[in-house]
Chains A and B, each alone.
Chain A
Amino acid sequence: MPRLTAGERHTVRFTLNGRAVEAQAEPRMLLTDFLRHELGATGTHVGCEHGVCGACTVEIDGVPARSCLTLAVQTDGASIRTVEGLAPEPGRLSVLQEAFRRHHALQCGFCTAGILMSLDNYLRRQPNPSEHELREFLGGHICRCTGYVPIVAAAMDAARRLRESPSDV
């Protein structure tokens, strides 16, 4: 049986934003630290580090999840998307990111990466959400700056634009 010894570093491989990556992790290393410190993908933020704030939300195998509640070694072989993977090409933001900018849906930006990852996934599954549903889904995130109003406005706006031209990302 695969057994990874405490205190030693083990190779973890997964797909990050479509690219195969690998690095070393102790069994106890959180996925957040693995992404940020081992892979240099610092777009994912760390707030509470115990699952409450949502700042660290990434997509693991197609679903939004807390990377601080995940061990790096659990994700061996997984497919992971982070905020670095949202922009369709260098120099161009995604429809959702662009809407965040237009609506001033971020101030300090600490919560933003997590919220974007949640909403990006959500809007693909639910292209026509009601504001109520959207707010319920956003309940998994804490933003200390905006009061959520511009975040909701940005998400509703992005949803509308994506419905109108579904080929955009």
Chain B
Amino acid sequence: MKPARFDYIRAADLAEAHDALAEYGNDARVIAGGQTLMPMLSMRLVRPKVVVDIMHLPALRGIEAGGNGIRIGAGVRQAELLAWPGLAEHLPLLNAALPWVGHAQTRSRGTVCGSAAHADPSAEIPLCLLALGATIELSSRRGRRRVPAADFFTGMMTTARAENELIEAVHIPGKQAGSGCAFKEFGRRHGDFAIVACAAIVTAASVRLAVGGVADKPVLRDFAIDDGKPLDEALDAFAWALDARDDLHATGRYRRELVRQMGRDTIEEARRCHA
């Protein structure tokens, strides 16, 4: 339960972080809050040659609300976002979901972008980023690009990040006027990873549900509101499409049932706060 040896680089600016990633690629791991990387290091699931600490880069520290939404830098801790005064107004879905992320004692150091980088299929933050249509801002020595969350999460703990790229921030569109949202999660204990987690966003014209914990990445479905099919049928089809598997925590069948029931509850709650 001790990490294998690595060099530790405390990057003083972005260029240094980019240089380290360009030089070491997959043999480098970025550390910010460390709440997902440290267990992986200690269990030796990863054995990087260098660990690059980005928490000393002032450029990554801020939460900025602008016309195009909210930018959350890679150095922003989950507790910081939870305490951000604009959260309930601009990002009500994250306001509802963040208390489910780990525990107060891990949110104090864990970052929003770190959770996105780790891409655990049952983690709450990737699920919300997908539901909200967020984009991930990646940068490297070569330049900068933004990838929609739907393309960023590619599978079990894998993302579209190239090995020389750093996640610099996530951009989340602000709350759409007249929309309602809700978040629900089922797990064995509060603070555990979700067995199933649901995020719903409802407007007058659309119903969107994103589900985590079932497939190998969070999955999103937009339901047509009046295609004549009742919602339950559409949810059932969605539940089957997620290809739920049995594991230690729950059977696939149980997960499907949670998607049907909790999915409906989440959508209804989102409707209520939309109304």
Q: Measuring CB to CB, which residues of chain A are less than 8 angstroms from any residue of chain B?
A: 1-7, 26-28, 30, 33, 49-51, 54, 57, 60, 63-66, 68-71, 73-74, 118, 122, 136-137, 139-141
Contact = CB atoms under 8 A, between A and B. Distances in A.
Given A69-B35, A71-B38, A74-B34, A60 B109 contact: yes
B42 A30 contact: yes
Nearest to A135: B190
7 contacts: A3-B7, A6-B8, A27-B6, A33-B2, A49-B1, A50-B38, A139-B103
A73 B8 contact: yes
B116 to A, nearest CB: 18
Interface of B: 1-12, 16, 31, 34-35, 38-39, 41-43, 49, 51, 53, 55, 79, 102-106, 108-109, 189-191
B254 to A, nearest CB: 23
B102 to A, nearest CB: 8
Contact of B190 (A64, A66, A70, A136): A136
A28 B191 contact: no
Given A6-B6, A27-B8, A70 B109 contact: yes
Nearest to B109: A65
A28 B38 CA distance: 10
Nearest to A63: B108
A70 B110 CA distance: 11
B12 A1 contact: yes
Contact of A50 (B9, B43, B55): B43
Given A1-B11, A63-B79, A54 B105 contact: yes
A30 B2 contact: yes
Given A30-B42, A49-B42, A71-B34, A66 B106 contact: yes
A50 B106 CA distance: 11
Contacts of A1: 9-12, 16
A7 to B, nearest CB: 5
A63 B1 CA distance: 25
Nearest to B10: A2
A26 B5 contact: yes
Contact of B5 (A7, A60, A118, A140): A7
B109 A140 contact: no
Q: Which 5 pairs show the lowest CB-CB distances between chains A and B?
A: A140-B103, A27-B8, A6-B5, A63-B108, A140-B105
